[in-house]
């Protein structure tokens, strides 16, 4: 059975974020490639389309995701321990390496922490699969919720985010989380 998707667009300090969700959970969180990104952006998060508020109230997972993202940008530490909205991602085969990597990242790497590709591979049970972890990060459909921005190179450098086009966003997100600790 195909899901009926509800969509909300938010304006955030890192630009527009589009969320797609069905009644079972969030399918996608889409971050836009930064164009005129300013690291001094304000912290308030607002729905772009006022009528989206009705959808947010109608679709509980979408509403939870909007609230979680608002809380995250207001004070990143406030989402530590807060339950995330349910995810409904059918793209990854249950039990696959990608699904395991994303699950470990979402549940074991907290706000303000980072993990290297190699460390995440080890956490997933295959210490030699750091390149495969990179592939899992590229396949992540729900950034922020599954915090791929917290995965860095073994030397501590940020690596690539959004195929390298979002590195400035990754650096901002990491600083936002540390600043809020």
> What are the extents of the domains in the chain?
6-79, 97-179
Q: What would the pLDDT profile of 168-180 be if each residue is shown by its tens digit? A: 899 999 999 987 5
- C-alpha distances in Å from residue 117, one per residue of 9, 15, 51, 103: 31, 26, 40, 14
Give me the half-sphere count of Cα atoms (radius 13 Å) on the Cβ side of residue 147. Answer: 26
Give, for 65, the enclosing helix (H) or strand (E): helix 60-74
pLDDT given at position 165: 86
pLDDT given at position 41: 61
Mean pLDDT of the residues in the chain:
89
What number is the average pLDDT over the span 52-71?
87
Which residue pairs, CB below 8 angstroms and at least 24 apart, start in 96-103? 97/124, 97/126, 97/129, 97/132, 97/136, 98/135, 98/136, 98/139, 100/124, 100/125, 101/132, 101/133, 101/136, 101/137, 102/136, 102/139, 102/140, 102/146
DSSP E strand stretches across the chain: 6-12, 15-22, 25-31, 46-47, 115-116, 151-152
Work out the pLDDT band at 2, boundaries 50, 70, 90.
Answer: confident
Sign of CA dihedral 160, 114, 141, 13: negative
Work out the pLDDT band at 33, boundaries 50, 70, 90.
Answer: confident
Q: What would the pLDDT profile of 90-117 be if each residue is shown by its tens digit? A: 777 778 999 999 999 999 999 999 999 9
What is the rounded CA–CA span in Å between residue 156 and residue 130?
15
Judge whether residue 88 has pLDDT over 70: yes
Cβ neighbours of residue 135 under 8 Å, at least 6 residues apart?
98
Q: What would the pLDDT profile of 126-177 be if each residue is shown by its tens digit? A: 999 999 999 999 999 999 999 999 999 999 999 889 888 889 899 999 999 9
- pLDDT over 70 for what percent of the chain? 92
Q: Give catalytic residue positions.
A: 148
pLDDT given at position 49: 72
Q: Which CATH number fits domain 97-179: 3.40.640.10, 3.40.50.2000, 1.10.260.30, 1.10.10.10?
A: 1.10.10.10
């Amino acid at each position: 059975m195909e899901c009926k998707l509800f969509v909300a667009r938010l304006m955030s300090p890192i630009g527009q974020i589009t969320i797609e969700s069905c009644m079972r959970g969030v399918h996608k969180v889409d971050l836009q490639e930064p164009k005129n990104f300013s690291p001094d952006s304000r912290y308030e998060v607002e729905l772009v389309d006022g009528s989206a508020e009705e959808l947010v109230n109608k679709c509980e997972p979408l509403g939870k995701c909007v609230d979680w993202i608002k809380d995250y940008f207001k004070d990143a530490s406030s989402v530590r321990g807060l339950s995330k909205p349910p995810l409904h991602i059918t793209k990854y085969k249950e039990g696959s390496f990608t699904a395991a990597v994303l699950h470990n990242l979402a549940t074991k790497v907290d706000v303000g922490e980072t993990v290297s590709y190699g460390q995440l591979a080890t956490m997933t049970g295959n210490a030699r699969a750091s390149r495969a972890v990179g592939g899992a990060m590229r396949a992540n459909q729900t950034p922020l919720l599954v915090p791929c921005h917290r995965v860095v190179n073994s030397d501590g450098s940020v690596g690539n985010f959004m195929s390298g086009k979002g590195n400035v966003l990754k650096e901002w997100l990491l600083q936002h989380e540390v600043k809020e600790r």
